[in-house]
């Protein structure tokens, strides 16, 4: 009897995508949901959409790909997202290298500070960026506009879906 190749004998589990997000007024949450929808549209990838205070390093260790979605606050990532990264950095260091990731930032008018800060952290983890950071400005400037619930325009949601779908398709094809 011919022995089965090892690959045929061991069933492969579906690739897992973690979309981890924080949001105060809805913009980053809408982007995260759109990214997860895009990933789901590819089929075959198990997508976990998780608010960052509900998960820790274990979720990172168990995923094959990652999307981080955060608002910019005071020139850097939202404190809650920073807390997730603080809790996860050393437990995940050296254990998630080369996994693909994407980053999305909701901002009033800038977003670059948060994007740079997260990119320094993902560089430390040696993650592989699969798309330029998506920065979406909500144009909130006054205290009232800052506190208002945000609506994200369709073109930004479309781009978030595309990024989710691209990452998921690459996971399915084992491109990354």
Q: Which residues bind ligand FMN (CB under 6 A)?
A: 23-29, 71-75, 106-111, 138, 140, 146, 150
Task: Name beta bridge partners: 49.
Answer: 19
Minimum distance from CB of 86 to ligand FMN (Å)? 19
Nearer to ligand FMN, 21 or 125 (CB): 21
- Would you say 108 or 170 has its CB closer to ligand FMN? 108
CB of 78 to ligand FMN, least distance (A): 7
- Residues 34, 126, 86, 95, Cα dihedral to 10°: 100
Task: Quote the least distance from Cβ 148 to ligand FMN, whole Å.
Answer: 8
Strand partners, 66: 18, 101
Q: Which is nearer to ligand FMN, 2 or 149 (CB)?
A: 149
The DSSP code sequence of 11-77 is: PPPPPEEEEEE--SSSHHHHHHHHHHHHHHHH-S-EEEEEEGGG--HHHHHH-SEEEEEEEEETTEE
Q: CA 113, CA 38: separation in Å to the nearest integer? A: 26
Element (H, E) at 51: strand 46-51
Q: How far is the CB of 92 from ligand FMN (least distance, A)?
A: 24
Residue 28 or 67 having the CB closest to ligand FMN: 28
């Amino acid at each position: 009897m011919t022995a089965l190749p090892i690959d045929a004998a061991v069933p492969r589990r579906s690739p897992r995508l973690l979309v981890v997000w924080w949001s105060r007024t809805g913009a980053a949450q809408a982007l995260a949901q759109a990214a997860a929808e895009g990933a789901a549209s590819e089929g075959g990838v198990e997508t976990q959409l998780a608010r960052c205070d509900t998960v820790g390093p274990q979720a990172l260790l168990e995923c094959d790909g990652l999307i981080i979605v955060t608002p910019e606050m005071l020139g850097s990532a939202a404190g809650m997202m920073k807390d997730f990264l603080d809790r996860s950095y050393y437990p995940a260091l050296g254990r998630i290298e080369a996994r693909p990731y994407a980053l999305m930032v909701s901002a009033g008018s800038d977003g670059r500070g948060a994007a740079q800060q997260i990119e320094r952290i993902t560089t430390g983890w040696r993650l592989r960026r699969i798309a330029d950071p998506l920065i979406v400005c909500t144009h909130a400037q006054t205290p009232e506009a800052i506190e208002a619930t945000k609506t994200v325009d369709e073109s930004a949601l479309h781009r978030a879906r595309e990024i989710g779908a691209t990452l998921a398709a690459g996971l399915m094809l084992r491109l990354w």
